[in-house]
Amino acid sequence: MMLEFFGIKLIDKTGNVARAGNWQERFQHLNESQHNYLRITRILKSLGELGYESFKSPLVKFILHEALVENTIPNIKQSALEYFVYTIRDRR
């Protein structure tokens, strides 16, 4: 996955993610470069189409936590709430 570009790393086979070593630089870029939000939407949709639906929820939860709780990527809030969340088909 393209997670490291966004400052995120995959930590296990269940799809759990965490901040990567380069997270500060990459989150700053992600916060300032809103054109990447469409890419994230495409990645999330592709994960489902390629059989990795279970990877989407942990990624979206992580992004929401960073945007809403940690306030590290506040500019992504609207896209996360209006687009990312609605790519998740598995509602468990």
Over residues 9-33, the pLDDT tens digits come to: 999 999 999 999 999 999 999 999 9
Could you tell me where the beta strands, DSSP code E, fall in 2-86?
8-10, 17-19
Determine if the pTM surpasses 0.85: yes
pLDDT average, residue stretch 33-48? 95
Q: Output the six-digit token pair for 9.
A: 């790393």
Distance in angstroms (rounded) separating the CA atoms of residues 88 and 55: 10
Do residues 68 and 27 make contact, with C-beta atoms less than 8 angstroms apart? no
pLDDT band, residue 76 (cuts 50/70/90): very high
